[in-house]
Amino acid sequence: MKISVNARIVAATNVDIQKAIKEGKFREDLFYRIGVISIHLPPLRERGEDIVLIANYFLRRFSKSLNKKVQGFSPLSVECIRFFAWPGNVRELENRVQSAVIMSESALIEPRDLGLDDRPNCVNKSPVTLNLKNAKEMVEKEILSVAMAQHSGNMTKIAEALGISRPTLYDLLKKHGMDYKA
């Protein structure tokens, strides 16, 4: 007995499929069987002002569902949201906003509520205490963070992208107290 089935498959990946096909890591025939419509969604860190819109959507949703009186993000929080690398993409943003709404004790979400108060773009905005050495270290740490996210922790690719050797990369990660797997 034959049973006719009409099915649609929706698949997602964070891998560049065309590159994987060229490298022999994904079967080309399989791609053409399932790849009728392809939609490229850029990672959150590449969406510019959309990040803040998405964060505000989550804030309104969680404020309503949790019956909290959170009204928005502080200006510094907005800046932190815009410039954070978001290695966990939209899920990380959603989880951080949900946690912030739950834990916040004020009407505005602050960077500490999001767990972003230790990020270089969120600390010490006073030009009086900012010096060149601190600024260099802040930028260095943020660039390392972005590179780690962009290259999914692949140390060889990160070192190549930054134009440094792997030992230098490991030294910088250690210097800034950043997690890595050697």
Asked whether the domain spanning 125-175 has the same topology as the one spanning 44-121, the reply is no
Q: What is the pTM of this model?
A: 0.56
DSSP assignment string, 14-71: SS-HHHHHHTTSS-HHHHHHH-SS------GGGSTTHHHHHHHHHHHHHHHHTT----
pLDDT at 16: 85
- Per residue in 4-24, pLDDT (tens digit) is 999 888 888 878 888 999 999
What is residue 108's three-state secondary structure? strand
pLDDT of 128 above 50: no
> Domain residue spans in the chain?
12-41, 44-121, 125-175
User: Which fold does the domain 44-121 belong to in CATH?
Assistant: Helicase, Ruva Protein; domain 3 (1.10.8)
Do residues 120 and 139 lie in contact, with contact meaning Cβ atoms separated by under 8 Å?
A: yes
- Per residue in 143-178, pLDDT (tens digit) is 887 777 777 778 899 899 999 999 999 988 888 777
User: Which fold does the domain 125-175 belong to in CATH?
Assistant: Arc Repressor Mutant, subunit A (1.10.10)
